[in-house]
Structure formats: C-alpha cells, structure tokens
Structure 1
Amino acid sequence: MKTLSRSRAVRTPGGLSLRLDVRALIVVVLLLAAALAAGVALIGTGDAKIPASDVLETLAGNGTAYQDFIVNELRLPRVLVGLLVGASLGLGGALFQAVSRNPLGSPDVLGLSQGSTAGALVVIVLMSGSATQVTVGALIGGLVTGLAIYLLAWKQGVHGYRLVLVGIGVSAIVTAVNGYLLTKADLVDAARAVVWMTGSLNGRDWEQVWPLLWLCAVLVPLVLAGARGLRMMEMGDDVANALGVRVQRVRLVLMVCAVLLTATATAAAGPVSFVALTAPQLARRLTRSPGPNLVPSLCMGATLLVTADWASQRAFGADQLPVGVVTGVLGGGYLLWLLVTERRAGRI
C-alpha cells in the first residue's frame, strides 16, 4: 500500500528552501476544522438552542437582535476562552514534554497547576478576593511555582528527569498546602474554592478572552521561533551544543513561555486537568512525526477542550458537568494506558 510522503521541499520567493511535513499539515487542518465545528455546536447548545446555520449567520452579522445577544455576548466568549485555554495548555504541555524528554513531563505532573490553585486559594480563603483578584493570584502562584521548580532542578543546567522528579515533589507539597487552606476556609469560601478547583468555562466573558488572546499572540511566535533549537535538544544537550544551540538559554526561554501559557490558562478557567498531558501525545500519534509537534499539539489542545465542554453539556442530560470533570476522567484513563504502554516498552 502506498503511504503518504513524510515531507516535501518548498521554495519560497526569496530563494529559501523549507521542508514541509505533509501529514502534519493535514492533521493540523483537520484539527482546526474539528475545533471550529465543535465551537459552532457549542454556541448553539443551551436552553435556547440555535441551529448551526443560524449561528454562522449571526457570527457573520446577519442574525436577529436576540440571536446576536445570545451568540456574541453570552456564548462566543465562552467558546473563545475554551479554544485559547486548550491551545495554551496543549502548547505548554508539548514544551514541557520536549524539554524534559519525558511523556509525563506536563504541568499536571510537575505541579504548575497545583501552584496556580494555591495562588487562587490564598486569594479566596485569606482575602475573600474578587474574581479578578483570584485570576491574578492564580497567575502569580503558577509563576512562583515554576520558578521554584526551575531553581530546585538547577545543577549545572536543568535536565529532564531531575526536572520531573523535582516537579513531582513540589506538586506533593503544594497539594498539601492547598488541602490546609481548604480546612481554614469558611463554608462559603470553601464551596467557592472547590468550584474553581474543578475547572470550568461557566460564566466566562470577554474579560477573560482578551488577556489570553494577547498572551498567545506574543508567546506562540516566540515559541515557534525556538522550535528548531528544541528539535536539536531532543537529540541531547551535547549534540545540540555542537550544532550551535545555546541549550540553557533556549531551555530557559521556552520554559518561561510554557509556565506563562499554563498559568494564564489556569487563571482563566481553573485547573483543567490532563489536557496538557494528553494533547501532545495524541498529536504525535496522529502526525507520526518526531520532534515536539508544537502546532499540532496546540490545535489538539483547543479541539480537546471545546469538545469536552460540548460533551459536558450534552452527554449527561440536564446535569451539566464542569469541563474539568470530563477531561479528568478521560485524561486519567489515558494516563493509565500511557503508563502501561511505557512499562511494557521498558522505559519506566
């Protein structure tokens, strides 16, 4: 059977020669189409159901005043937050797994999500802060946790397995701190904290969309600019250094980008679990391509989260589950399968 060519050389008008992975490009296009289709279906889902054709008409500016309010003011921000949060988590997970050279090297395992949760809990429990203050607290908590993991893992550079082990230890400590904070909260604040910790897109509006959009507009090109160095680093630090890559500098920049992406996504939607772990792995299996697969992981994360949010509203009748519950169940099953596969392969 004839197989699809792995890559093709493309010449730009300036005379540069680029190598294009055809299969990866097809996967990206299909994932984008699936994400957009799921987004349209999600916009039409709710107490006031709107057909997909009317959703598209309204997005094009041809809907009624009622449809315009429902689509553009109430539901579109939620879908955009879901797409941006999923894309940020997918890209952040791909970066951590590439830097650590470990399929378990994701923000969920390394403790970054728990750090963001700790920052949010401090604001909720100790300060009774507003939603905006909770968002800021989650962002600060994620950044502080990421800095602590990097410093503790540093020993003449940061290496993959040491980073994962330190992250697991930090995650255990921060999880214990989060449990302590919950015991100190009164009933109202504890209920509010538990709802936030589940991970949900309910009530998201344009105030959450714009910071995520601007962050992605800045960080995604920066990450893609470092993709070549990241591919070299997957062959080992010594090989990358011999090829002219400033390993520690590239690793630091990409880790800062990954921490910012993860912390901001968590601040916007709460700790939505396992998207950062599963999206890069699924993207790599679809593309069958070596390397970090940054763009496919980004698209896979967006598709997973919006599809999970749609399923949380449609698959359980009148009971709408937070999206974090759905991703937790599916991601936990995937993690068990991944551990069994890695053990059978002799890698753990």
Structure 2
Amino acid sequence: MNKALIKTHLFFLILLIGIVGCSSKDVIKEQDKEQEEEKLEDISEMTEEVLEVKFEHVAKSLPVIFPPSAKIESINADRMNRLLEINLSKEFSYVPFRNETVEMLYEEFRDEFGSGYEDYKMQIKALGYPIEQLIPNYFRSGYAEYDQSRIPSSRFKRPDPVVRNVNSKNNSSKGLAGKNILLWHSHGWYHNLKLERWEWQRPRLFQSVEDLIPMSFTIPYLIPMLENAGANVFIPRERDVQTNEVIVDNDSPTNLITKSRFIVRDGERLVWQKENEPAFGIGEPPYKENENPFKLGSSLFTYSNLTGDAQCEWIPEIPQTGEY
C-alpha cells in the first residue's frame, strides 16, 4: 500500500474516532436522549473489519489527501428541523474542493451515521461555510450553480480617463481602456539615518542593484505596452530618463534658472485671475527642511469661451538636444 493510501486510511480512522468521541461527549443535542444514544451506540460498535472495508473504498475514490491535522470540531443534531450539522476544522479548507470531493464527504458521513439519520438533512461546514460553497465557479457543474457574487458585473461603466491624447490614433475603447494602473518599477533612493547618506534600498548583487534593473524594461517596454492597450499608467517615480529639467511656471515669467518664459494675454471679455490657494513655485532649490515647493507659488484661472479670448503660453528653453 503506497504512502498516499496509508495517509487516507489514517485520516478516516481519525475521522471516525472523532465522530465517536464527539458523540460520547453529548455533542449531539436532542430532546429524546435515550433514542439518540441507541443510534450512537450503533456507530460506536462498528467493528474494525467494517472500517477496513470502508477504508479500501475510500482509498480508491478519495480525490484529495486532507492534511493530517484535519478533524471534526463538532456535530449538532437538530431534531425539530431534522438537521445534522457537521463542523470541520479549518484544515479541511486547505485542499482544492471539487464536486467529487463534496459528494465523497457527504456519502461517507451518511454511511457512518447509518439509517438512524437517513431522514435528516446533512450540512457539512468548514470555515463556517458549507463545503459546496468552497468549490470555485469554474469547477461547478453548470451556470445555475455559480455563485453570482463572484461574477463581475457586465454593466460596469468604465470611468472617463484622467488624460486623453486626442491626437493619438490609438484611442481604444476595449482592452485596458479607462483602466488606471499604478506602477512602481523600483524603490529608488532613501535616506539612511544611521549612515547619514542617500542610498539604494536594495543591496548590490553581482555588480547590479535591483532598484535599477526594473527601470530598464518598465520604462521603454512595459509602460508603453499598457498605454497602447488603453490604460492610464501612473508612476510615483520620474519616468523620464532625461537628466535635464526645464520648469515653466507662472510665478517666474522669466525664469533665471531655466531661462524659460510664461506669457499670459487677457482678452476683451475674459481675464486671468489668481487663485487664493497656494500652488507650485520653483522657489530657490535646493529646498530646505520642511520646505514644500507645492506651497511656494500660486495658480491662475480664467473662464473659457469658444473664441479663445484669454490665452497663455509656456515657452521652455531647451538646454540640450535630446528626447524630452
């Protein structure tokens, strides 16, 4: 006999002992105790020969091997509602449940309880759920048995994208269209307080750093692939590998650092107005402790019309030829 069959035999030996043990401790609660005790005696008086026959039957039909720690936690019999509830330990839920697994367990329990409980409705539970609910929809017999709460709604309306490239020829309506994806390609730099320095979060390994390698394929390959499929990809780290930075800001119409310009033109009817809330301002980098550049400046707004009355221009001064 192979190891799998031996484990199966041991499992059902523990299973049957658990039934007898639970029964002897008055786990089954009914009004007519004498009648139920007689039925339980029938279970406890089963001979080893009968058990061995059942072991051979189970060894051939058991679709999975349950963990050795799996056991029966309680058995409750409700005489009024003719309901027999068997609660199994959480270890029973560790195996992949299929229709044949559920049918086998119900069949074996009914055989062990015998004719005294044949008019009872039996319910076997693990993790507080009937074991038939532990079967994934994919492995159930038909659509009528599917758990509808696990099926995503087909009426889900995709939200409008945060940003849409109106000039792109690839504005897809299917695939990942309208989906927002947050993508981290690595951890990046962090400040080590003990060493008082900035360093990569991951250690050096074979002359490489994990924080650098993912960026080499996410930026040029993975992100464009997701965006071409219609997704909006958000990255907390800078995605641009260009080392030059150009900032055009309304608080610095002529930026002494970048030499860029910001120009506003009021219209005949509409004019630019300043918001009361703080906004981005380039300030004087490098920034000091607790200095937030997104509170150093201001922002402008105007109402719009069809004639383009009020206008503004951002004119960057590109310091070097390259891809920006």
TM-score, structure 1 as length reference? 0.19
For the pair shown, the structure with the greater C-alpha radius of gyration is 2
Structure holding more helix per residue: 1
Structure holding more strand per residue: 2
Which of structures 1 and 2 has the larger relative contact order (alpha carbons within 8 angstroms, sep 6+)?
A: 1
